[in-house]
Structure 1
Amino acid sequence: MRASRFFISTLKEAPSDAEIVSHQLMMRAGMIKRLGSGIYTYMPMGLKVIRKVEAIVREEMNNAAAIELLMPLVQPAELWQETGRWDKMGPELMRVKDRHGREFAIQPTSEEVITDVVRSEIKSYKQLPLNFYHIQTKFRDERRPRFGLMRGREFTMKDAYSFDRDLAGMQQSYKVMFDAYTRIFTRFGLKFRAVAADNGAIGGTGSHEFHVIASTGEDALVYCPDSDFAANMEAAEAVATGERPAASAALVKTSTPKAQKCEDVAALLKIDLKQTLKTLALTVEKDGGGKEYFMLLLRGDHELNEIKVGKVAGLANHRFSTEAEILEVYGCVPGYLGPIGTKAPVTVVADRTVALMADFVTGANEADYHYTGANWGRDVAEPAIVADLRNVVEGDPSPDGKGVLAIERGIEVGHVFQLGTAYSEAMKATFLDENGKAAPLQMGCYGIGVTRILGAAIEQNFDDKGIIWPASLAPFELVLCPMGYDRSELVKEATDKLYAEAQAAGVDVIVDDRGLRPGAMFADWELIGVPHRVVIGERGLKEGNLEYQGRRDTEATAVPVADTINFVKAKVQR
């Protein structure tokens, strides 16, 4: 490829609406152009990267015996209504009507469609296992699209769906896909981590997320440096160890004026924040009418994990109590709530750590007052429920008992799910087993955010000059920068020869024949992030050398002309 025949459109400054590094650099490098909120045109330079991501994904999926098809972007509402997701998905599901008033979804994912395909095609256990995948545009109507391709509304995703006869088969298919994903992200050349995750809106029984490690990542990843344990913050189990100490302080009702937060109470009483209780009031609407009230108790320095709360018995459909409900049940305003002396019956749900506390400080259910020296059993009944309610923190014991936990930031770019029969039962997707009996198909699903990979890769690999692409993802592996290509026959001849050799060697190479000054030329390619650069100049040629510089190198290296192509091939290492 010659730069004069390609479309290169770089900017010195990022648009004002570009919020994070990857968004800024992709706009500046001319890889994407904003069309609307969360909707982008993939420009030629960016599309080349996307195609390289897709090629790696497709090759590894094919190697894992997955079969490619292509499902439609527009899907009938009836399929989504069969599984109940037409209502459950909420406003993120883009809904449209045709001229006849029939409703359709603009797909955010394709579980319903692939299940419909399989239920009409698969009749016997002899046809299993199967794994179908496609690479297709998706649309999710994000409330607040931001961060360029990281959280856009329209994006490209690879989603795959496995079908097996039993749980063991599904788990084996899941392992095959997990291993394939590990190979895919390794080939991308990115530092990544696979972590246990919550299934969320997809449903099912187990899942793992694949995260690209980046300090700017939205997600907190929890892992144990001394073992294989890894999970996202939502799914990481918080372990409480040791025995509850014996009570050693008297219960005292203590004045705490205007101290509604645990931090304020601890400062006022000059105690460790870890001695305070954080109280959250929840309400559950009963199916037959009426309400049930729950009190969640956390240690003052811990944060609530709402995903975990939803898994506590009776709290699947909880909401936070209104101020009117709090006044009715506790008799005071929020900020002074506690388990001692509520006005109405309340189910106390204590975090595991709280259940081991003694001599703690808790609200007195009276404005401007807290109890100090409170103890379970002596001053208040033992909690009705003890559960894991909190986010883990660094230094917590690892759930596998092999060390303590550490936390780093990551960007989710892939997710694999064990769906089980959640969709096949809802959509009556069955097969006949060896005994001629109908059984529901066991399913798994597996997604990779193809376009999101670009943003994640950049968030992990950049400097003050621009993007630093891994060679496997770069729009071009090698750029040739001739000095005076249009003025020096010596430079032109050497450049054309090296260009031909690079092409013959299978190197993805571009020649910058635009006639730019060296500073502008180099700045463009450093911004774009091409990993390898060779400069061809008359002075060097007369000395028998060309200049090679890797994108991360601080200085150029002189390479004999005759050795250049082999030198470059060794650097590219494809």
Structure 2
Amino acid sequence: MLASRIFINTLREAPAEAEIASHRLMLRAGYIEPLAAGIFNWQPLGLRVVQKIAGIVREEMNAAGAAEVLMPAVQPAELWHASGRWQVYGKELLRLQDRHERDYCVGPTHEEVVVDLVRRHVKSWRQLPLNLYQIQTKFRDEIRPRYGVMRAREFIMKDAYSFDRDAAGALASYQAMREAYSRIFDRIGLEYCIVAADSGAIGGSQSEEFLVLAASGEALLARAAAGYVNLDQVPCAAPDAKRPAAGEEMKKVDTPGVASIEELRGFLQQPPPPERCVKTMVAVGEKGMAAVLLAGADQLNLAKAGQHPAIGAGARLAEEAEVREAVGAGFGSLGPVGMPLPVVADLRLQPCADFACGANEDGKHLLGVNFGRDCPEPDYADLRLAAEGDAGADGKPLELRRGIEVGHIFYLGTKYSDAFKAVYESEDSGAQTMEMGCYGIGVTRIVAAAIEQGHDEHGVVLPAAIAPFEAAVLPLGHEEEVAKAARALYEALRAAGVDVLLDDRGLRAGRAFSDLDLVGVPHRLVVSKRSLAENATEYKPRTGGEARLLPLADAPAEIAKLVAAA
């Protein structure tokens, strides 16, 4: 392809709002351009990367026996009512009405649609197993879209759905997808790990995440003997200490403007230690709403909260309006005394006495509070997120790394097939409910994750399998012989099967070199009057090598060999 025809828009500097490397470099390299918050135009170079990833995904999904479909992006609300997720999914679900005032949503996922499709057409055991997949645009109305395409509202995803006769077949399909995903990420060339995960709003009894290891990742991982585990899955033991007897009387104090543990301790003249400052949050899940108590600076683990029967799957933090309606006070002023919601406390609070907490009145806190005396004893559960230095299962302190989720597989069981009465006629025992799994890969997110894992001070460093071009030919100078030789080399590389760019824009050498490094072309071949004097091209790899001369006749085969080896 000719660079003059491809609409290359590189920038010298990234906009100030770009916070992480992938966001900065995708903007500078002209991969993406923002249209609205969390919504991007994919420009030609970026789209080529997306298409190469999608091509690998499609090949492996087809090889695993899945059949490609394309389902509507806009989905009728009645399907989401049938699954119960219209209410549960929350504000990330973009809802809209048509001219007839019928309710729809823009699909963040397609479990409802695919089950509706399959239940209409699959009637017999002979039609199972079945696996349908698509590569399509999704929309999730993130409250704070950030980090470019890493946390975008609109994105491209591969989602697949398996249907089986029984649990054994469904688990076999799950394993087949797990192996296919491993082949996908191996072929792309990323360092990744597989960890057990919370199923969240998707549901089901088993799920695993595929995470690209990168310092900027939002997922926290703990190193384990067999690799890594998701920090959400690390249990925290109850403390050995026993609760002392109450030593203080409860009293209410005015705390205007105080909304956090840090502010409370800074406000009080004699503040209690952090472990005796109890913060109260409100979590909502499919089972209901509950007040959740944590000690000091501990963080709530929503995956664990979702396992509590008072909250349930898909746990999220309640919004301010929900909290005020339920409790009568806002964030920063909540506490267990007089709390009208069910109260669940983290295990670390079992030995806690004479603690400080919110008074369920704005601008007021309570000191000297004791469970059993001033408020009912709460239900205790493991609710906090493990932290670096906590003891792991082997007794050693946890060592943490970060990862970027790029894939997630779920064994769903009959969660959706029960709701939609997706049944088939079995060979010998009548109507049976189909067993399901679902499997997602964030196609556009992989682009960002790959750049987070592969970049340097000059720009993007992508694996050759997904680079926008495998090689670039750059003619330097205006001599006709240079242009002809460059064109001949370009055509020879194409004939050798190399995905090659001819940079015919006529830029100065420094700017051209900088652009090719920035956009992540792995192999650069320069044709100049000086190189032609030796019947050669100057070859330089994007990383790990110095420039050297290659005979023009040998260059196509050698570059093709380098590309194949990568």
TM-score class, shorter-chain normalisation, is 0.7 to 0.9
2:516 to 513, 525, 529: 525
In the alignment, which residue of structure 2 is the partner of 1:226? 225
Contact 1:222 1:236 in 2 (8 A): no
- For the residues of structure 1 that align with 2:327 and 2:141, how far apart are their CA atoms? 35
Q: Helix, strand or coil: the match of 1:515?
A: coil
- For the residues of structure 2 that align with 1:131 and 1:510, how far apart are their CA atoms? 38
**Segment drifting more, 550-559 vs 178-187:** 550-559
Contact 1:227 1:403 in 2 (8 A): no
- For the residues of structure 1 that align with 2:24 and 2:380, how far apart are their CA atoms? 47
Q: Which string of whole-angstrom CA distances, capped at 9 and with x for unpartnered residues, describes residues 224-245 of structure 1?
A: 24334411x4x32332167436
Q: In the superposition, relative to structure 1, how do residues 364 and 354 fare at CA in structure 2: closer, same or farther (>3 Å)?
A: closer
Q: In the superposition, relative to structure 1, how do residues 369 and 353 fare at CA in structure 2: closer, same or farther (>3 Å)?
A: closer
- For the residues of structure 2 that align with 1:101 and 1:258, how far apart are their CA atoms? 49
1:303 to 299, 320, 342: 299
Amino acid at match of 1:388: D
Contact 2:326 2:340 in 1 (8 A): no
Shift of 1:347: 6.7
2:446 to 428, 453, 462: 453
Q: Helix, strand or coil: the match of 2:494?
A: helix
In the alignment, which residue of structure 1 is the partner of 2:407? 414
In the alignment, which residue of structure 2 is the partner of 1:148? 148
- For the residues of structure 2 that align with 1:244 and 1:10, how far apart are their CA atoms? 60
**Segment drifting more, 401-410 vs 450-459:** 401-410
- For the residues of structure 2 that align with 1:420 and 1:349, how far apart are their CA atoms? 29
In the alignment, which residue of structure 1 is the partner of 2:455? 462
In the alignment, which residue of structure 2 is the partner of 1:389? 383
Shift of 1:389: 0.8
In the alignment, which residue of structure 1 is the partner of 2:85? 85
Shift of 1:426: 0.8
- For the residues of structure 2 that align with 1:111 and 1:281, how far apart are their CA atoms? 31
Amino acid at match of 1:460: Q
- For the residues of structure 1 that align with 2:98 and 2:271, how far apart are their CA atoms? 66
Superposed counterparts of 1:30-109, under 5 Å: 30-109=30-109
1:426 to 387, 399, 419: 419
Contact 2:246 2:354 in 1 (8 A): no
Amino acid at match of 1:312: H
In the alignment, which residue of structure 2 is the partner of 1:352? 347
Shift of 1:404: 4.3
Q: In the superposition, relative to structure 1, how do residues 463 and 14 fare at CA in structure 2: closer, same or farther (>3 Å)?
A: same
Contact 2:272 2:355 in 1 (8 A): no
Alignment TM-score, normalising by the size of structure 2 = 0.84
Alignment TM-score, normalising by the size of structure 1 = 0.83
- For the residues of structure 2 that align with 1:364 and 1:479, how far apart are their CA atoms? 63
C-alpha RMSD of matched pairs (Å): 3.8
In the alignment, which residue of structure 2 is the partner of 1:442? 435
1:550 to 538, 541, 546: 541
Shift of 1:5: 3.5
- For the residues of structure 1 that align with 2:348 and 2:395, how far apart are their CA atoms? 19
Superposed counterparts of 1:214-293, under 5 Å: 214-217=214-217, 219-231=218-230, 233=231, 235-240=232-237, 243-244=240-241, 251=247, 273=274, 275-280=275-280
Identity score, percent: 44
Q: In the superposition, relative to structure 1, how do residues 309 and 35 fare at CA in structure 2: closer, same or farther (>3 Å)?
A: closer
Q: In the superposition, relative to structure 1, how do residues 163 and 561 fare at CA in structure 2: closer, same or farther (>3 Å)?
A: same
Q: Which string of whole-angstrom CA distances, capped at 9 and with x for unpartnered residues, describes residues 181-220 of structure 1?
A: 1221222222223222222222222222222222223x23
- For the residues of structure 1 that align with 2:284 and 2:487, how far apart are their CA atoms? 73
Shift of 1:26: 2.3
Q: Helix, strand or coil: the match of 2:201?
A: helix
**Segment drifting more, 116-125 vs 459-468:** 459-468
Shift of 1:445: 0.8
How many corresponding residue pairs?
549
- For the residues of structure 2 that align with 1:55 and 1:449, how far apart are their CA atoms? 13
Q: In the superposition, relative to structure 1, how do residues 137 and 313 fare at CA in structure 2: closer, same or farther (>3 Å)?
A: closer
Shift of 1:563: 4.2
Contact 1:305 1:391 in 2 (8 A): yes
In the alignment, which residue of structure 1 is the partner of 2:479? 487
Say whether residues 1:471 and 2:470 are aligned partners.
Answer: no
Q: Helix, strand or coil: the match of 2:52?
A: helix
In the alignment, which residue of structure 1 is the partner of 2:196? 196
Shift of 1:18: 4.5
Q: Which string of whole-angstrom CA distances, capped at 9 and with x for unpartnered residues, describes residues 51-103 of structure 1?
A: 10110000111111111122122333332222223333344333444444444
- For the residues of structure 1 that align with 2:165 and 2:292, how far apart are their CA atoms? 42
Q: In the superposition, relative to structure 1, how do residues 140 and 250 fare at CA in structure 2: closer, same or farther (>3 Å)?
A: closer
Say whether residues 1:183 and 2:178 are aligned partners.
Answer: no
Q: Which string of whole-angstrom CA distances, capped at 9 and with x for unpartnered residues, describes residues 234-280 of structure 1?
A: x3233216743696x9835699988986556599769874x535242
Q: Helix, strand or coil: the match of 1:200?
A: coil
Contact 2:150 2:448 in 1 (8 A): yes
Q: In the superposition, relative to structure 1, how do residues 242 and 107 fare at CA in structure 2: closer, same or farther (>3 Å)?
A: closer
Q: In the superposition, relative to structure 1, how do residues 241 and 543 fare at CA in structure 2: closer, same or farther (>3 Å)?
A: farther
- For the residues of structure 2 that align with 1:97 and 1:365, how far apart are their CA atoms? 41
Contact 2:280 2:334 in 1 (8 A): no
For structure 2, the 5+ residue unaligned runs are none
Q: In the superposition, relative to structure 1, how do residues 145 and 300 fare at CA in structure 2: closer, same or farther (>3 Å)?
A: closer
Contact 1:225 1:403 in 2 (8 A): no
- For the residues of structure 1 that align with 2:290 and 2:3, how far apart are their CA atoms? 66
Shift of 1:392: 0.8
Q: In the superposition, relative to structure 1, how do residues 78 and 567 fare at CA in structure 2: closer, same or farther (>3 Å)?
A: same
For structure 1, the 5+ residue unaligned runs are none
Shift of 1:159: 0.7
- For the residues of structure 2 that align with 1:284 and 1:69, how far apart are their CA atoms? 35
Amino acid at match of 1:113: V
- For the residues of structure 2 that align with 1:250 and 1:15, how far apart are their CA atoms? 56
Contact 1:74 1:106 in 2 (8 A): yes
Amino acid at match of 2:220: L
Shift of 1:143: 3.6
- For the residues of structure 2 that align with 1:513 and 1:54, how far apart are their CA atoms? 28
- For the residues of structure 2 that align with 1:36 and 1:504, how far apart are their CA atoms? 41
